Structure 1
Amino acid sequence: MTASDPQAHDPLSKRRLKLWIRLLGVTRQAEGSLREFLRLRHETTLPRFDVMAALYRRRDGVTMSELSRMLLVSNGNATTVVDRLEKDGLVRRTQSETDRRTVFVALTPEGLASFETLATGHEAEVNQLFASLTESDLDTLTDIFKRMGSPK
């Protein structure tokens, strides 16, 4: 290491890198388990679940652009998932009365009921995935992640 190397001045650099790799591993493992759970138990996908969860939080509906921003995906990706959900009768699209280019999307009553079933199963699966964590562990991790997510 040279004097201009930032790691030379930070003895925790390697440990932080290892933590990042471990965090990615835990996230990927949990996400993989959830994908498999949704596929096998509910015959659905994680992207469908995510779209329905976003629409569940915004019951009055959102524009397709808002939905894409909420999910951090492209408009095309959101549209593909919404197309399938609409075909299955779980969401409905409504054109704006003031701007014909704007389309709102919302869960149908069937979509609401379906999501509530999915959400109950999803919560139980996440609970099982992290069952080895104590209340103290959860408090500590929550505090750490909040600090990490705070602006510097």
Structure 2
Amino acid sequence: MPRGFHRRPEQERESLGFEARVTEEAHQSLRLWLRMMSCNMEIQSVLRRRLRAEFGMSLARFDYMAQAYRHPEGVSMRALSNYLMVTGGNVTGLTRELQKEGWVSRALDPQDRRSYLVRLTPEGRAMFESVATVHESWVVSLFADMLPADRARLTDLLGQVRTLLAQADLAQDRSAEPVAD
């Protein structure tokens, strides 16, 4: 068992989540990362279930449509793959499915005839807007019992985390660059 973890009775472990199994001797950063991952997984699980039950839609489809909605002028399939952090094959499959539904159109990119631009159709935009409104209400309800000041503080703290991570990533990139003679 990795250092910093200890066993508790099974029922208690399950109710507290994986991050609660880290002992005080473990790095607080590890505990923070595990807590953030656990919260993200819980939120996604709730949203995934609700999207499927109410709209017969996967979270992947919703995320795809959200990216297409953000780019009314069209978005390349490569960019979609990057935004969604999935393979090109996944984007191609989703594109085909959504085209069959009549929610997206795909056309050659006039700037690069080797790639396609994807756009929501008017029906797709309307469908996404109705789902997104409900999705937003679900997210709001998940955090409704938090004090507004706590939500604002957590948002600020997570913004600081993103800034620190971006700076660390940039510093790593710089240290990997070859030194000129």
Q: Do they superpose with TM above 0.5? A: yes
Alignment of 1:1-152 (within 5 A): 14-97=27-110, 99-150=112-163, 151-152=167-168
Q: Percent identity?
A: 39
In the comparison of the two structures, how many residue pairs are matched? 142
**CA offsets per residue over residues 28-73 of structure 1, 9 Å max, x none?**
1110000000000111010000010001110010111111112121
Give me the TM-score of the superposition, normalised by structure 1: 0.87
Contiguous gaps of at least 5 residues in structure 2: 1-23, 169-181
Superposition deviation, residue 14 in structure 1: 2.4
- 2: CA distance, partners of 1:134 / 1:39: 29
- 2: CA distance, partners of 1:91 / 1:100: 19
- 2: CA distance, partners of 1:22 / 1:99: 43
Superposition deviation, residue 82 in structure 1: 1.1
Q: Which runs of 4+ in 1 moved over 6 A?
A: none
Superposition deviation, residue 19 in structure 1: 2.2
Moved more, 68-77 or 13-22: 13-22
Residue type at the aligned position of 2:146: L
Residue type at the aligned position of 2:49: E
Superposition deviation, residue 119 in structure 1: 0.4
Give me the TM-score of the superposition, normalised by structure 2: 0.74
Residue type at the aligned position of 2:135: H
Which one scores higher on RCO, CA 8 angstroms, separation ≥ 6? 1
Residue type at the aligned position of 2:29: R
Residue type at the aligned position of 2:80: L
